[in-house]
Amino acid sequence: MKKSIRKWLTILIPLFLGIAIIWYQFSSLTPSEIDKIKNSFQKANYFYILLSLVIACGAYWSRAYRWKYALNHLGYQTHFYNNFCTVSVSYLVNLTVPRSGEISRAALIRKYENVPFDKAFGTIVAERFVDLMIFFLFVFISFILQFDTLYQFLVDKNVSLKTILLFIGIGFLLFVLFLLIWIYAEWNIIKKLKQKLAGLTEGMASIFRMKNKWNYLFHSFFIWFCYLLMFYVTIFAMPETANMGFDIVVMGFIFGSLAVGFTNGGLGAYPLSIALILSLYGISNDVGTAFGWLVWTSQTLLTIVLGLASYLFLPIANKNK
């Protein structure tokens, strides 16, 4: 009973949060601004939206191809179409419960390629770690380049630099404390967890010992290059955003990526974060909102189409195994 309640809460809380954000965003718009948003959708150049979706497919392909290096290192020769389809399904599942797609991806590759769940999941966690480091690199460079703009925004919102540094410091100390407990503690519960996570640890460590680690890292950077590029080309879909500087694009990309984790696939949160960031650079609220929804809607539709097609294709492609 408790597990069932917990499961539904993990689905409903992000969903209701997304709905609340949508309500907040559109309730703050005037009827004139809503009409402008509708007009922006009608006049948008959808060639650039389609181009962004093609680039997004390149990121899907690269993520599936990168995965084979980690799995091969563990001794599992998987078929590329299974890698690609399980990745696509995982993105679809993430639209329901944030970050639940990783579990479904490991479960599907176990079903169709006989890769143990814990080892497969370990390689996925390792991927997320590498992706997170690359994302932090984006954040670090962008925040240095845009420090004055962001600092002024925080000042306007009455958020002091000391408060931000305090939270960062507390988070860092807690992380260090966790690592020390995990490495040196002799508690029974820690020992049991280490035993259960042995396969997971092996999967994570595989990227540091694999033969093709440089190819793995190349695909890791290529994936994020595709992510940034597919966001960049969408600015040309609207005349009001076509002349945005690349520095603005990068900031929008970063905050949009962060927003995806707050709700189901970024529902509500993604368009709102895009509108807020663009407003810092003088782009009107209706234009920023229209642009955010245009990008989010197109990417979400791609996720749904690829995910459903892959889910249907998997049992057909593996029927004779």
- Average pLDDT of span 210-225: 89
Q: How far is CA 187 from CA 23, 194, 272, 307, in A?
A: 48, 11, 45, 42
Residue 159 has pLDDT above 70, yes or no: no
Range 210-216 contact pairs with CB under 8 angstroms and sequence separation of 24 or more = 210/69, 210/70, 210/72, 210/73, 211/73, 212/69, 212/72, 212/73, 213/69, 215/66, 215/69, 216/66, 216/69, 216/70
- Average pLDDT of span 107-130: 88
Predicted local confidence at residue 266, as pLDDT: 81
Highest mean pLDDT among 5-9, 44-48, 193-197: 44-48
- Average pLDDT of span 295-303: 92
Predicted local confidence at residue 294, as pLDDT: 92
pTM: 0.81
Q: How confident is the model at residue 39 (pLDDT cuts 50, 70, 90)?
A: confident
Q: Name the least confident of 32-41, 101-110, 129-138, 199-208.
A: 199-208
Residue 15 has pLDDT above 70, yes or no: no
Q: Evaluate whether 89 touches 108 at the Cβ level (below 8 Å).
A: yes
Predicted local confidence at residue 16, as pLDDT: 67
How buried is residue 32: exposed, middle or buried, by Cβ count under 10 Å (0-12/13-18/19+)? exposed
- Average pLDDT of span 81-110: 88
> Residue 165's CB: how many other CB atoms inside 10 A?
10
- Average pLDDT of span 300-309: 93
Q: Compute the chain's Rg from CA coordinates.
A: 21
For the segment 238-275, what is each residue's pLDDT rounded down to a tens digit?
998 988 888 888 888 988 888 887 777 787 888 888 98
Predicted local confidence at residue 85, as pLDDT: 94
Residue 216 has pLDDT above 60, yes or no: yes
- Average pLDDT of span 151-165: 67
- Average pLDDT of span 115-128: 86
Predicted local confidence at residue 150, as pLDDT: 66
Predicted local confidence at residue 251, as pLDDT: 86
Q: Name the least confident of 46-60, 62-76, 170-184, 187-201.
A: 187-201
Highest mean pLDDT among 132-136, 163-167, 307-311: 307-311
Predicted local confidence at residue 63, as pLDDT: 95
Average per-residue pLDDT in the chain? Answer: 82
Predicted local confidence at residue 87, as pLDDT: 95
- Average pLDDT of span 90-108: 85
Instruction: Return the HEC string of the chain.
Output: CHHHHHHHHHHHHHHHHHHHHHHHHHHCCCHHHHHHHHHHHHHCCHHHHHHHHHHHHHHHHHHHHHHHHHHHHCCCCCCHHHHHHHHHHHHHHHCCCCCCHHHHHHHHHHHHHCCCHHHHHHHHHHHHHHHHHHHHHHHHHHHHHCHHHHHHHHHHCCCCHHHHHHHHHHHHHHHHHHHHHHHHCCCHHHHHHHHHCHHHHHHHHHHHHCCCHHHHHHHHHHHHHHHHHHHHHHHHHCCCCCCCCHHHHHHHHHHHHHHHCCCHHHCCHHHHHHHHHHHCCCCCHHHHHHHHHHHHHHHHHHHHHHHHHHHHHHHHHCCCC
Position of tokens 């769940």? 117
- If we measure between CA atoms, which residue out of 273, 242, 285 comes closest to residue 44? 242
- Of residues 145 and 302, the one with the higher pLDDT is 302
Q: How confident is the model at residue 11 (pLDDT cuts 50, 70, 90)?
A: low
Predicted local confidence at residue 90, as pLDDT: 92
